[in-house]
Amino acid sequence: MNAPEPKMSAPRPVIRQLDEAAINRIAAGEVVERPASAVKELVENALDAGATRIAVDYADGGKTLIRVTDDGCGMTAEDLPLALSRHATSKIDGTDLLNIHSFGFRGEALPSLGSVGRLTITSRVAGGEAAAVTVAGGRMGAVRPAALTKGTVIELRDLFYATPARLKFLRSDRAEATAIADVLRRLALAEPTVGFTLRDVTGGGEGRVMFRADAGSGDFFEALRARVGDVLGVEFIDNACRVEVEREGLRLSGYAALPTYSRGSSVQQFVFVNGRPVLDRMLLGALRVAYFDFLSRDRHPAAVLNVECDPERVDVNVHPAKAEVRFREPEAVRSLLISGLRTTLSGAGHRASSTVADATLAAFRAEPAGFSGPARIYQMDRPSNAALSRSFAFQAPVQPVQAGFAEAPSARVEAVAEPAPDLTARPLGAARAQVHENYIIAQTERGMVIVDQHAAHERLVYERLKRQMAETGIAAQALLIPEIVELSPNDAARLLEFADELRRFGLTVEPFGGSAVAVREVPAILGTVGAAALVRDVLDELADLGSSQLVQAKVEAVLSRMACHGSIRSGRQMRADEMNALLREMEATPHSGQCNHGRPTYVELQLADIERLFGRR
């Protein structure tokens, strides 16, 4: 019997150098994922060139045309071929990658775009001649004279024509156009002193303006306030608090919305680091933690925040698209963001968002059936106080004459007591009535306030319990037999890293040899709790957010339930002095504008709005 032939060995792979075109196309896969990525890179280049006005035109969702025009410093004819070569940049000299002050620095965007599309750059420096160059599919043409007043115009046509397989992964024109608008709005928030215009020129012509933001003036906060109004709407600004906190060389600035202005998703969360838009998990997690005591889990805060620090304390060279950053002291940044936002929200006191009143008024209004014109106005002017008094006296019910009872006391009309002036001048006014044994009606100088007595008192009791807990600490219950939890080495190391923070909330975890940990104490207020399940939940949150507020959240959830049971119940009739005392305590207690679940505790209606409901205005 013949022995089988030995298996033939595969040929040894040969190491070869890729050509420049292939290298650029590979880089384009990391830098340019879709038309919005190209817009981001080109607009950032314009900002780095010192532009004060930037116009972006696109056609067919950016698939057939992207044109970015700026009034920046421009480039010379000699600069154009160099700008299209890989890793050529004017932003850094390569000696220090931890001291970056510009948006771009990799020198990959332009050659990558030129390798997958048809790219034309036209530019002119002050006092020089305009020049243009075209590169298509990685092949560069000759530099030629051009006509341009100033700045730079970059035109990208037929994106991914050189790599048609990438076109199959693009979404509809509408979805890609929406992504472009989102990118430009984010950059517009980063640079409030620069004017931006976005046009859809599909089909040719002047096109349709999709977004416009004029350059802001004044100081940073004035310019940012105007820009936030352009991007997120005046409603956000009307319900936002100014944030300005500085500590240990770190500075947090921007605007954070009131908890009652929460959103159904995270679309209104914008975080910047030294003016650079980032989608950093640690920063977004800290934003969520700062609000977690005021919002239910299905609601999200809205904020526009910028973290400023020395460039050497943050590494922006960790992602090809520069969307992520890495801080040298992440805990300090996280602490600044959480404490800064909580301090700012506490300073808002009992304030609730104006959208609550708007929703209430909208619920009151009834659409006139079969009538599309403006609502009728029945009364234009308010009568004088004297006319009101005569009118009320005329409308007072007349007591019927009882024949045969001459000795009956004469009829007497009780005068309506005027609210105390010192109380109506207060923010929440003077209590005037209680309806349905749950809602307090208070009169203010400018209108009226409707308070949910149970929700309001629940927040007051909750804040009181939290203050007591902060003063006395959280009592820990020692387990009779410590519970041993087997974990992976990485999970055990991560958990023990946060052991001191967990101990502050009554959860004591110690190493138990190998990758096991011993749970010796749990928060007493939680009662009987599965230590192993609690530890694993904490680990899940650490992996997701980089920090854990789970134990604190569980403790405060118990306090919230205690506050709910210990607060004024719905259905209880309250005296006038009790109602006024509740209003005064609400005015003095931070966060009293929303209950423990993020719902508003009161609605304020302006007199002008009420009169408009009744056609008086």
The DSSP code sequence of 176-225 is HHHHHHHHHHHHHHH-TTSEEEEEE-TTSSS-EEEEEEPPP-SSHHHHHH
Dmax over CA atoms of the chain, in Å, equals 141
Poorest-confidence range of 9-23, 109-123, 516-530? 9-23
Average pLDDT over residues 558-564: 62
DSSP string, 375-412: PP-S--SPPPHHHHHHHHHHHSPPPPP-TT-TTSPPP-
51 vs 397: which has the higher pLDDT: 51
HSE toward the beta carbon, residue 265, CA cutoff 13 A: 1
**Residue in the block written with tokens 């600490």:** 473
Q: Which two tokens stand for residue 263?
A: 């959103």
Closest CA to 162 of 136, 140, 186, 182: 136
Residue-wise pLDDT tens digits, 15-40: 666 666 665 555 555 567 889 999 99
Provide the terminal-to-terminal Cα distance of the chain, rounded to the nearest Å. Answer: 109
Percent of the chain with pLDDT over 90: 25
Per-residue pLDDT, averaged over 475-488, amounts to 86
87 beta partners: none
Q: How many degrees, rounded to 5, is the angle at CA 80 between CA 75 and CA 84?
A: 125
Name the region of 63 (left: φ>0; alpha: ψ -120 to 50; beta: rest).
alpha
As a whole number, the mean pLDDT across the chain is: 79
CA–CA dist 283, 273 (Å, integer): 10
602 close to 450: Cβ distance less than 8 angstroms: yes
Q: Which of 18-32, 179-193, 305-319, 405-419 has the highest mean pLDDT?
A: 179-193
pTM of the model: 0.70
Please give the class, per CATH, of domain 20-213: alpha beta
The two three-digit tokens of residue 100, written as one number: 């970056």
Contact 576, 417 (CB under 8 A): no
Name the CA radius of gyration of the chain, rounded.
Answer: 33
Q: Is the pLDDT at 392 greater than 60, yes or no?
A: no
d(CA 149, CA 71): 9
> Strands, DSSP E only, in 466-554?
476-486, 508-511, 516-523
* 123-126-130-135 Cα dihedral, nearest 10 degrees: -20
Instruction: Provide the β-strand partners of residue 519.
Output: 483, 509
Would the pLDDT of 606 be above 80? yes
Looking at per-residue confidence, does 389 or 138 come out higher?
A: 138
Q: pLDDT tier at 245 (50, 70, 90 boundaries)?
A: very high
Integer Cα distance of 553 and 567 in angstroms: 20
Fill in the DSSP letter of residue 9: P
* CA-wise closest residue to 553 among 295, 283, 261, 265: 295
Q: Is the pLDDT of residue 475 over 70?
A: yes
Share of the chain above pLDDT 70, in %: 74
307 or 137: which leads in pLDDT: 307
Q: What is the pLDDT of residues 397-452, one digit of tens each?
A: 444 444 443 343 443 333 334 555 578 888 888 999 988 888 999 998 888 899 98
Whether CATH 3.40.30.10 fits 220-348:
no
Q: What is the C-alpha to C-alpha distance for residues 304 and 232, in angstroms, rounded to an integer?
A: 10
- 12: confidence class by pLDDT, cuts 50, 70, 90: confident
Q: What CA–CA distance (Å, rounded) separates 341 from 335?
A: 10
Is the Cβ–Cβ distance between 490 and 539 less than 8 Å? Answer: no
CA distance 358 to 612: 13
Q: In the prediction, which pLDDT does 366 show?
A: 53
CA distance 545 to 494: 12
> Two tokens at 237?
């600004």
Q: Which pLDDT score, from 0 to 100, does residue 209 have?
A: 95
Per-residue confidence (pLDDT) for residue 68, from 0 to 100: 96
Residues comprising the chain, all counted: 617
**What's the CATH class of domain 420-617?**
alpha beta
Helix (H, G, I), strand (E, B) or coil at 119: strand
The phi and psi torsions of 210 (rounded to 5 degrees) equal -95, -25
Are 177 and 58 in contact, with CB atoms under 8 Å apart? yes
Ordered by start, the domain boundaries in the chain are 20-213, 220-348, 420-617
